[in-house]
A = this chain, B = another copy of it.
Amino acid sequence: MTEGRSRRPGPRIEEVARVAGVSKSTVSRVINGEKYVSERSRQAVHRAIAMLGYSPNHAARTLAGSKANAIALVISEQGSQVLADPFFAGILRGVHAELTGRHVQLLLMMNQPLDGEDQVAYLTGGHVDGALVVSLHGEDPLPRILHETGLPVVSGGRPLAGGAVPFVDADNFNGALGAVRHLISLGREKIATIAGPHDMAVGMDRLSGWRCGLAEHGMPVGLVAHSSDFTPESGAFAMEDLLRRAPDLDAVFVAADILAVGALRVLHARGYRIPHDVAVVGFDDSVLASTATPPLTTVRQDVEQLGRTMTWRLLAELAGEEKLPSSMLLPTSLVRRASA
């Protein structure tokens, strides 16, 4: 704003080159970590950069280069916002943490249901080098579509309609398995579950873990009630269903804390004491778990770590690393509180 055509402040690559006594080509090579630069030049450039406080211009790099220096974080949120919120914030924190220091910008996209093709066009249009897709709804075709265009993609959560899309997810199966084993170790003998919706991978995997845990002790796996979405109301509804079918159940593994809140409400209303009559284990270790009455024993998943790992995986692919694992599961852990 000072002269006619206001230039951005700060030194340019040319000044770094002058101070370091090399050409701007060499400075560029150092910045981009290319080989074929002598140790002497590299040092000189680093000193000059530090001295001048130089920071490369993102727009210029992107314009001149063959990459966008940006990745997209796409949040497909079809309803179920309640679950989405804390989850989403954790993911974002993780992604952000992993990105700091690298010269990569984060582009946020939350898709309204409508703009599916626009979004694909934008993402594959060279504005970003890759995409992180978090679809809560497991059958979302977006990860697969993007993957098929050749855009590097990492999905957060196992995509049901995923094809060969690389993904990172919490180890929902073993988390559920651990929860069930815990219930069994407490001597519970009639263990039900409130599962997630049919169309979400996270629900399916947790259900499998529950089944497996019971099966390995020769216990029956019939007491399943599916929730229609991740709300307390849906959890309450499922709990009522279970109690109708088995009034004498002594434990419930609930696929999400937010469902468990509804289930607890029903159990209280019917006069069941927790954990004396019925032990309850949730999943997620969200705020709700610690604020529930009684505080909920739950399976903790580290959402921030999930965000970090997705980002790491995508950046590694962009850097041309090979032999990357196509999928990764992150450990979960049981958090013991009062409810089981």
Give the B-binding residues of A (Cβ under 8 A).
5-6, 8-10, 53, 55, 57-60, 62-63, 66, 68, 82, 84-86, 88-90, 92-93, 96, 105-108, 110, 121-122, 125-127, 232, 258, 261-262, 265, 268, 287-288, 290-293
Assuming A92-B108, A105-B107, A291-B258, is B9 touching A126 (CB within 8 A)?
yes
Nearest chain B CB to A200 CB, angstrom units: 19
Q: Is the CB of B232 within 8 A of A290?
A: yes
Q: Residue of B at shortest CB range from A63?
A: B59
Assuming A58-B127, A108-B92, is B66 touching A261 (CB within 8 A)?
no
Across the A-B interface, the 9 shortest Cβ-Cβ residue pairs: A8-B126, A59-B62, A59-B63, A85-B89, A261-B291, A85-B86, A59-B59, A6-B66, A89-B89
Residue of B5, B10, B85 touching A85 (CB-CB under 8 A) = B85
Tell me the complex Cα distance, A58–B108, Å. 15
Assuming A106-B108, A125-B10, A258-B291, is B96 touching A5 (CB within 8 A)?
no
Tell me the complex Cα distance, A69–B164, Å. 36
Tell me the complex Cα distance, A308–B168, Å. 32
Tell me the complex Cα distance, A287–B261, Å. 11
Chain B residues closer than 8 Å to A62, beta-carbon distance: 58-59
Q: List 6 A-B contacts (CB under 8 A).
A: A9-B126, A59-B59, A108-B108, A232-B291, A291-B292, A293-B293
Q: Is the CB of B96 within 8 A of A90?
A: no
Residue of B10, B53, B287 touching A126 (CB-CB under 8 A) = B10
Tell me the complex Cα distance, A232–B291, Å. 7
Chain B residues closer than 8 Å to A63, beta-carbon distance: 57, 59-60, 63
